[in-house]
Chain A
Amino acid sequence: MSEQTSMHGGTRPDAGATEVLEDTSNHEEIALETSGEVGEVLLEVDHVTLRFGGVVALNDVNFVIRRGEILGLIGPNGAGKTTAFNAMTGVYTPTEGKIRFKGKEIAGIKPHRINHLGIARTFQNIRLFPEMSAMENVMVGCDARHKTSVPGVLFRIYRVRPSEQELPPSGIRRSFAKAFGISRHTLEERAGRRRAMELLRFVGIADRAHELARNLPYGYQRRLEIARALATEPELVCLDEPAAGFNPAEKEDLMGLIRRIRDLGHTVLVIEHDMRLVLGVTDRIVVLEFGQKIAEGTPEEVARNPKVIAAYLGEPDDAA
Chain B
Amino acid sequence: MSRISAAYRGLKLGERWDHAPKPVRWFVMLLVVAFAFYLPFLNILPFAYVRTDLSTSGSDWSSVLFLIVIYMIVAVGLNVVIGLAGLLDLGYVGFYALGAYSIALFGSTNSPVVKSLQNRFGLSEEWAVPFAVCIPIAITMSLIAGVFLGAPTLRLRGDYLAIVTLGFGEIIRITARNLDQVTNGAAGITQVPVPPGPEVDGRAFFNTIDAHRWYWLALTVLLIIIFLARRLENSRVGRAWLAIREDEDAAAVMGVAGFKFKLWAFAIGAALGGLAGLLFGAKQQYVEPNAFMVQLSFLFVAMVVIGGSGNIYGALLGAFLLTYLPERFRGFVDWRPFAFGVALVLVMILRPQGLVPSRRRAREFDDRRQEAEEAAADV
Contacts and interface: CB of A to CB of B under 8 A. Distances in A.
Interface of A: 89, 110-112, 115-116, 120-121, 123, 127-132, 136, 139-141, 143-146, 148-150, 153-154, 185, 188-189, 192, 214, 228-229, 232
Interface residues of B, number: 29
Contacts of B336: none
A185 B235 contact: yes
B255 A143 contact: yes
**B contact face: mostly helix, strand, loop, or mixed:** helix
Given A112-B257, A121-B253, A127-B250, A140 B231 contact: no
A228 B254 contact: yes
Interface stretch (B113-121, B156-164, B198-206, B239-247): B239-247
Given A153-B237, A189-B235, A232-B254, A140 B243 contact: yes
Nearest to A234: B255
B360 A131 contact: yes
A121 B242 CA distance: 20
Contact of A136 (B239, B250, B268): B239
B367 interface: yes
A154 B224 CA distance: 11
Interface of B: 228, 231-232, 235-237, 239-240, 242-243, 246-247, 249-258, 260, 264, 268, 360, 363-364, 367
Contacts of B231: 153-154
B232 A154 contact: yes
A136 to B, nearest CB: 6
Contacts of A189: 235-236
27 contacts: A89-B253, A112-B258, A115-B254, A115-B255, A120-B254, A129-B247, A131-B360, A132-B239, A132-B242, A132-B246, A132-B360, A140-B239, A140-B243, A141-B254, A143-B239, A143-B240, A144-B255, A148-B236, A149-B264, A150-B232, A150-B237, A154-B231, A154-B232, A185-B236, A189-B235, A189-B236, A192-B236
A242 to B, nearest CB: 15
B363 A111 contact: no
A32 to B, nearest CB: 15
Nearest to B255: A144
A139 B255 CA distance: 11
Given A89-B253, A111-B252, 19 more contacts: A112-B254, A112-B257, A116-B255, A129-B250, A131-B242, A131-B246, A132-B239, A132-B242, A132-B243, A140-B256, A141-B254, A143-B236, A143-B255, A144-B256, A146-B236, A150-B237, A153-B236, A185-B235, A189-B235
A111 B235 contact: no
Contacts of A123: 250
A115 to B, nearest CB: 4
Nearest to A89: B253
